[in-house]
Amino acid sequence: MMMLVGSAVLYLALVQTRYILTSYIEKKDSWVSAKVKSEACSAVKGQTWLKNVDKILMASKHPDDPEFSHRKWTESLLAELPPDLMKSTLKSWPSHDAVYHIANKLKNKDPVRVAVVGGALSEGRGCEIASVEIPSGSIMANPLFCAWPYRFEQFVNSFLGYEAIKLVNMSEEGTETALITPLIRNSIYPKLLMPEGPDVIINAYSTNDYATTDADLQPLIQKEMTAFLQSMLSSSCEHPPLLIHLFDSPLSRFDPGYPIVSLNYNLPISKLSSFENVHDRLDADTPFGMAGHLGIVWLIVYTFVDLLHMHCTAKLPFTPTPNLKSCTNQSHHDSCVFAWFSGPAGTVDKPHEIQQYVDKFITQNSGWRAVSDISTGFSRKTGLEATEEDASILLEFANITKEIEFIDLMTVKSYLAKFQNSRARFTINIKTIYEKKQPQEIIFEVDGYHTSSTHVTVPIEVDLKGFSAPIGSHITIKIDLIAGSTFKIIGMLLCS
């Protein structure tokens, strides 16, 4: 009897397994058939990189080089990057769904929204250094217009002949991935990317952007990138952004445990840099010049076209989207009661915009005001600053309408004389509506000065852990300048 029961159970299990596999295969075959027949797949069928060299060259032309005086230089560089070399940079693959979403938008001529996050290199460091002449006064010498993110946007739109992508470069020298994570988690993006947020996020932080020793670097990057990926995936239930991770050494490689695009650009970009031979004009923090910036454009474009071929021939993994409990479809700032960050790619850019936003929450203020000062870098020029000794400010958030789990601050640290001895004390008080729950006070201090010849943005996250502030709570944040004569804040978030 037991044998009969066991055989029946086994038979039922085999039938169920066969049904699941058959349904999956039929679904997969149907899915692939529909995708292969799409216009996006038709567009790339039979196309190769080498068949389109002339079109690639013309799309590589800088908008401020109408006569294409850099054509021979561009041809020489392109010849140094054969398809096999570019293909070898791809270290991990995205899922079919992720590629299909982007391909479908391109097919429908619905602009793909791209956010680039990174440090000095993606902000434009070194992009004006080249072995070819740059005409006096040309925007090609301006990091805003010679950095690879700008040239990538120009390339794609020129190649396809319409505004295929809208790109916002959120890169900022002196930052690392941890600065961006709370923004991604709460869908706080520049206006151009709203209300839906980005379709693609390119994380381009290089090894040099992380201020730590080599021994600590790999674990730090793994930790920060894991938190970044989790925040990105939970930012949208339907179509989380496609993540492209650019890295330059094994130290900065990230093991995601999830299908993303990973590109190690070190070998091809080093090859271009050696070919151009401008090493005497580069320093330790500038590994490549204009040639490298253009090379990164080609690598990303080649990779996506290659992935599109793989997608159309069903060679990408059918990895299911993880079931994330924190997945939301919230719109801009819906998870926050207070959120701003400054800069060209921020939510606010001018002092009066910061002042108008924070004034609604200020109940006491002595010596703090919104200012614009470019001395600590273009991206950090606007912020809320203590302008006198013993400056003090109190912000109150009464009867909050959303539960608060994280308080994030973005502060500036600089070596300039005005920041010498700069130190601020932050006092956070949380009082809930529940009588049995004791009020909580959190106090910490932050330095605004260091001796390193750099300006950096310091992300500080207060995780309220088990003591989240529920709806109806009263939160106060008091900021006192306890040393020095100035301190600068360029972002504050109170979010769930």
pLDDT, tens digit, for every residue of 218-250? 888 888 889 998 888 887 767 789 999 999 887
Sheet holding 423-431, edge to edge: 362-366, 392-397, 474-483, 423-431, 440-447
Distance CA 427, CA 409 (A): 13
Q: Residue 67 pLDDT more than 50? A: yes
| The pLDDT of residue 20 | 34
pLDDT at residue 404 greater than cutoff 70? yes
With 80 as the cut, is the pLDDT of residue 283 above it?
Answer: yes
Residue 174 has pLDDT above 60, yes or no: yes
Sequence letter at residue 195 = P
Average confidence (pLDDT) over 172-198: 88
Q: What is the pTM of this model?
A: 0.85
CA distance 376 to 355: 20
DSSP bridge partners of 493: 339, 408
- Arithmetic mean of pLDDT, 392-404: 95
What is d(CA 409, CA 432) in angstroms, rounded to the nearest whole number? 22
Fold equal for 25-312 and 336-495:
no
Q: Please give the pLDDT value at position 2.
A: 36
Q: How far apart are CA 445 and CA 487, in angstroms?
A: 12
Architecture of the domain whose range is 336-495: Sandwich (2.60)
What percent of the chain clears pLDDT 70, i.e. is strictly above it?
A: 86
Judged against a pLDDT cut of 60, whether residue 14 lies above it is answered with no
Mean pLDDT along residues 431-458: 89
Render the burial of 200-210: b for 16+ CB within 10 Å, e for the rest: bbbbbbbbbbb
- CATH number given to 25-312: 3.40.50.1110
* Span 83-92, average pLDDT: 94
Using an 8 Å Cβ cutoff, are 303 and 38 in contact? no
Q: Are 164 and 109 in contact (CB under 8 A)?
A: yes
Which sequence spans correspond to the domains of the chain?
25-312, 336-495
Range in 364-368, 388-392, 463-467 with the lowest mean pLDDT: 463-467
Residue written as token pair 């930012």: 235
pLDDT at 334 over 80: no
- Note whether 204 and 243 are within 8 A (CB): no
